Amino acid sequence: MSCTADKAANIAKALEKTREAAQKGAQIVCLQELFASLYFCDVEAYENFKLAEAIPGPTTEQFQKLAQELGIVVIASLFEKRTQGLYHNTAAVIDADGSYLGKYRKMHIPDDPGYYEKFYFTPGDLGYKVFHTKFGKLGVLICWDQWYPEAARITALMGAEVLFYPTAIGWATRQTEEVNQDQYSAWQVIQRSHAIANGVPVVSVNRVGQEGDMLFWGGSFVTNAYGKVLYQASHDREEVHVQTIDLEQSDYYRTHWPFLRDRRIDSYDVITQRLID
């Protein structure tokens, strides 16, 4: 989905496209990171804090009504105002009966050219989360969390049957095509590796369109529990796609390639201790 500076219009579009997905048979709908606005973190501007809202709040209430009407689960990524002067990059999860199940606050916060998120967001304080919905146990992480195997592993060990990554990532318009393709490839490969290492499907949902000097690369994709890409969206068009995922495959892949079962817990302790030392 592409976005504009009109927050109300973005939310209306997201509601419309969620309805479209449900009409196509979707049971779980995942929206991209910060879908209610342009990706404002490309600059450090105090005015942008006005985009934040409470969670649960007015936007989640709209999606709760829609989820209840359509009987679907919704993952909605929003700019959360926790209290005065304290903000998070947050994903709310709504069950198929319209109930608000809770939220995940982004743990890893980037601070790169064009991605000045540490200016806006406090790192998440809720830990990793698994949401028990009508259609499965969902692990929800957000964008920059994609690059960290620990986030995927911990969430999988907590019982997640699918990992979802609402995302906003793109190419700087001054980059070469070779660099662009290398970056996209690395982004997809690291997430496919989470599927393989943990034996869970991965769903990564990105935005499209040019905003300032950033061309968001779309390319949203879904893998099975063995990292096979089942679907990949285009880089330059809005798309609503429904992908069937077989949750039973996790047992097969984890049994035949037991990366999850054969992990050495003691080695994790050693690594943690070294970091503390």
- CA pair distance 55, 87, nearest whole angstrom: 11
Residues near 153 by beta carbon (within 8 Å), at least 6 away in sequence = 194, 197, 198, 263
How many other C-beta atoms can be found within 10 angstroms of the C-beta atom of residue 47? 8
Contact criterion met (CB below 8 Å) for 223 and 192: yes
- CA pair distance 110, 26, nearest whole angstrom: 32
Residue count (the chain): 277
Query: Among this protein's residues, is 106 annotated catalytic?
Result: yes
Catalytic residue, chosen from 30, 33, 81, 103, is 33
- Separation of first and last alpha carbons in the chain: 45
And the tokens for 118? Answer: 């540490």
How many other C-beta atoms can be found within 10 angstroms of the C-beta atom of residue 261? 9
Catalytic residue, chosen from 81, 103, 106, 129, is 106
- CA pair distance 32, 96, nearest whole angstrom: 19
Sheet containing 229-232, strands listed edge to edge, beginning at the edge strand earlier in sequence: 130-133, 136-140, 162-166, 202-205, 221-223, 229-232
Contact criterion met (CB below 8 Å) for 142 and 166: yes
Tracing tokens 């999860």 back to the chain, one arrives at 93
| 135: amino acid identity, one letter | F
And the tokens for 17? Answer: 């496209």
Query: Among this protein's residues, is 3 annotated catalytic?
Result: no
Catalytic residue, chosen from 3, 30, 41, 143, is 143
Q: List the catalytic residues.
A: 33, 106, 143
